[in-house]
Amino acid sequence: MTPSTLPESIFENLRLELRRGCLTLAVLSQLRVERYGYTLRKALEAAGLDIDEGTLYPLLRRLETQGLLQSRWGEENKRRKRFYKLLPAGEDVYEKLTVEMARINASLDRIVAEA
């Protein structure tokens, strides 16, 4: 199949697969300080990583179920907001994933440079 006839959906699926793990790492990195959903999203966006709420909130729920972060209802600007922060287990996982990510990146750099 030539690149021009490759369905866009195939690229899109591969891109999402590639992004999924990176998003988790990015979210963990931002929650070393307590944030609520909206500011978390803005922080990621400012760093160049767009993530829509439909993806972000379920991801936060999963991480919370896995015992990596905790959440609480708080108030800001007279509005109830849900605040998230890493638990010690989450910080531990974050450190390990960062090391792993760096290793993958270094390997990929070498592989892509050779190709």
Partner 1 sequence: MTMLDRYLHAVRVELPKRPQTDDIVAEIAESLHSQIEERERSLGRPLTDDEEAALIKAYGRPQVVAARYGPVQFLIGPDLFPFYWTTLRSVLVLVVAAILLAGAAASIATRNGTHFFNALNAAFNSIVWVCAIVTIAFAAGERFPQSLARRIAERDWDPRSLPPAGAIAAPRSSSLAEFVANILMLLVLLDARGAHYIPPDAVVANMLAAMHVALTQAWLPAYYVTIGATALLALSAMALFLRPSLSAVHESVRGITSAAIGASLVLTLQAGRLIAGPDLWNTAAVISLVAALLILLLQIFISVRALLRARTAVQP
Binding stretches for partner 1 (CB under 8 A): 37-38, 53-55, 57-58, 61-62, 65, 73, 79-82
User: Closer to partner 1 at the Cβ: 60 or 86?
Assistant: 60
Q: Which residue blocks in 5-115 are alpha helix, DSSP H?
A: 8-30, 37-46, 53-65, 88-114
Q: What is the largest CA-CA distance in the chain?
A: 57
The residue (of 23 and 57) whose beta carbon lies closer to partner 1 is 57
Q: Least distance from C-beta 58 to partner 1, angstroms?
A: 4
Q: Tokens at residue 17, please?
A: 């697969």
Task: Determine contact, residues 27/40, Cβ cutoff 8 Å.
Answer: yes
At closest approach, how far in Å is the CB of 97 from partner 1?
21
Q: Give the distance, in angstroms, between the CA of residue 106 and the centroid of all CA atoms in the same chain.
A: 20
| In the complex, minimum distance from the CB of residue 53 to partner 1, in angstroms, rounded to a whole number | 5
> Is the CB of 48 or the CB of 54 nearer to partner 1?
54
